[in-house]
Structure 1
């Protein structure tokens, strides 16, 4: 396995939370999160940020399985300026490893429908589309994909 080029940090303080929020809000402009939203997500999910040296590159989210939803959801986001350099694969592999440690029944990912590069990436990683849904007040669908 290649040596990681990225420094991946768990969101454990306000500075990492602000960086995680910046990546999320840049890539998902239809669902902007406040600092409190990120704190809430951090209580339910595993959040990480990735840097190349000191430069913010992306983030990951792993939603653990629950009794009601036995799937773990893995999300890897890379800022546009850093795409096409293998960072998405690296972040995805990292998040997938964290998800598998939780022993879910299945693994899913969610991509904003308008993020064509993200959808192509998920399909290349072996995910298959499962469903599309629109959150109340939104106009762009989210696409849920599952690993077979």
Structure 2
């Protein structure tokens, strides 16, 4: 991703980075509802070496709270299919798969999920 793409996303989305002291643990992205819609996307990412310690729970809860404060009534997320931990986390928190796809020019499979 280019620096201009990062800047564009930072203007449109709520992006936060989480640290434990000075060590990067993970981050969140909240894509607010667009054009008067009711659907927001909440993505919580935790680096592999920090998983299983509750950071994902905290990041997800914070992102969910932000999305609802922005007027979201429907919550979605997206997970890289190869991220089995992330997919298990989403399913355990009540998300259900809605679509699998590969972006043009890429080979990685992504999974869209919606909170039930």
TM-score > 0.5, shorter chain as reference: yes
TM superposition outliers: structure 1 runs of 4+ over 2 Å: 67-70
Separation in structure 1 between the aligned mates of residue 40 and residue 78 of structure 2, nearest angstrom: 11
Match among 49, 53, 58 for residue 85 of structure 1: 53
Of residues 9, 12, 19, the one that matches 1:51 is 19
Q: Structure 2, unaligned stretches of length 5 or more?
A: none
2: CA distance between counterparts of 1:105 and 1:121? 21
- Are positions 1:146 and 2:93 aligned together? no
Taking structure 2 as the reference length, what is the TM-score of the superposition? Answer: 0.94
Cα distance between partner residues in 1 of 2:37 and 2:101: 17
Using the alignment, how far apart are the partners of 2:37 and 2:107 within structure 1?
25
Correspondence list, 1:52-71, <5 A: 52-67=20-35, 70-71=38-39
Counterparts of 2:72 and 2:59, CA distance in 1: 19
- 1:54-133 to structure 2, matched below 5 A, reads 54-67=22-35, 70-133=38-101
Aligned pair count reads 116
